[in-house]
Amino acid sequence: MAEPLATIMKYIITILILLVSLSVSGQPHKIPELINYLSICDENEVFENYNRINNRIAKQDISKNILTLQLDIYGNCSIGDTSWINYSNDTLFIWTGPIEMQINDYVIMIAESECDCYFHLFYDILNLEKTPQTVIFNENVISLTSQKFLPEEYKLINGKEYLIYDSNGVYYEYNFYKNGNIKTIRMEYGLISKVLHYNEKNELIEVYLDTRLLEDGNQKIMKIK
């Protein structure tokens, strides 16, 4: 008697699982919806080497079907005007200005502004159960990373590799003596420039620092030898 009872119980459980599955699958799919958008232009960040900025996802979290994102983006000031999203095949599409695109019968156009800025963009997106596999911002894929700038870049000069951009976005420029030794290294970051002077024996003899473009800035020359 125990065996038929067990068979009946398995049959009932199977039916219940099937009914629950049908109930869940029959529920209407909720479309992800942008419920909050905040853009902050970081006026404390002045980038001479803006092309080295790594547009990125700085923070990402999901709780109670709400995806919270912080994007750090350098771009045109029209970015801050408005934003909208779409979600498809585990990919989150995010658009801001300046842009011109057609959606169905409508053309959306946000004109370019006359300024650029380093933006912190904050998003709350409802009806997402997991973080998207891919995020595309204004047609470019961006990733979650702590790296504010693009990776180091080197250039082959006189048969040797020299650092041109470091991982902090600093630009390096070199001048050489006829014997091939470095004469000067100029470093630029934002409104600050620094020049290292070497003698022909490759010994550092002088450091020049220029911060005059900053508030209360000046220029200094430090003799080493």
Beta bridge partner(s), residue 141: 136
Tell me if residue 147 falls in helix, strand or coil: coil
Residue 22's alpha-carbon distances to 10, 17, 77, 224, in angstroms, are 18, 9, 49, 79
- Interatomic CA distance for residues 121 and 162, integer angstroms: 35
Question: Alpha carbon of 161 to those of 51, 155, 168, 174: distances in Å?
Answer: 21, 5, 19, 12
pLDDT tens for the chain, residues 1 to 225: 445 544 545 444 444 444 444 444 444 568 999 999 999 998 777 677 788 999 999 999 999 999 999 999 998 888 887 888 999 999 999 998 766 665 656 556 667 788 889 999 999 999 999 999 999 999 999 999 999 999 999 999 989 999 999 999 999 999 999 999 999 999 998 788 999 999 999 999 999 999 887 778 788 888 886
Closest CA to 85 of 112, 105, 72, 67: 67
Q: What is the pLDDT of residue 19?
A: 46
Report the relative pairing of strands 33-41 and 99-103 from DSSP bridges.
Answer: unpaired
Task: Provide the Cα torsion 134, 140, 146, 151; round to 10°.
Answer: 130
